[in-house]
């Protein structure tokens, strides 16, 4: 892992995070209520987020 990857996360980690977020959005639109699929998709997002540098986590929720 190079310096650039340590600052923003590796391209594989960022791609996995984007894919997990897209799957969560799809699952939440399909299943309006909480279901096993939405919980699993959310767990995948959390796991993918942990592989990113701390400052990149939750960036969409910061104002």
Share of the chain above pLDDT 70, in %: 70
Structural domain containing residue 15: 3-57
- 3 confidence band (pLDDT: 50, 70, 90): low
pLDDT at residue 40 in the model: 94
Provide the number of structural domains found in the chain: 1
- List, for residues 32-54, the tens digit of each pLDDT value: 888 899 999 999 999 998 888 76
> pTM score, two decimals?
0.71
Average pLDDT over residues 20-25: 93
Residue 62 is assigned to a structural domain of this protein:
no
The answer to whether residue 63 sits within a structural domain is no
Asked if residue 18 is part of any domain, the answer here is yes
Burial track 38-57 (b if 16+ CB lie within 10 A, e otherwise): beebbebbeebbeebeeeeb
């Amino acid at each position: 892992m190079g310096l650039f990857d340590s600052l923003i996360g590796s391209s594989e980690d960022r791609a996995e995070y984007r894919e997990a977020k897209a799957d969560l959005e799809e699952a939440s639109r399909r299943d309006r209520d909480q279901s096993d699929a939405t919980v699993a998709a959310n767990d995948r997002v959390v796991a993918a987020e942990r592989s990113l540098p701390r400052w990149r986590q939750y960036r969409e929720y910061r104002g």
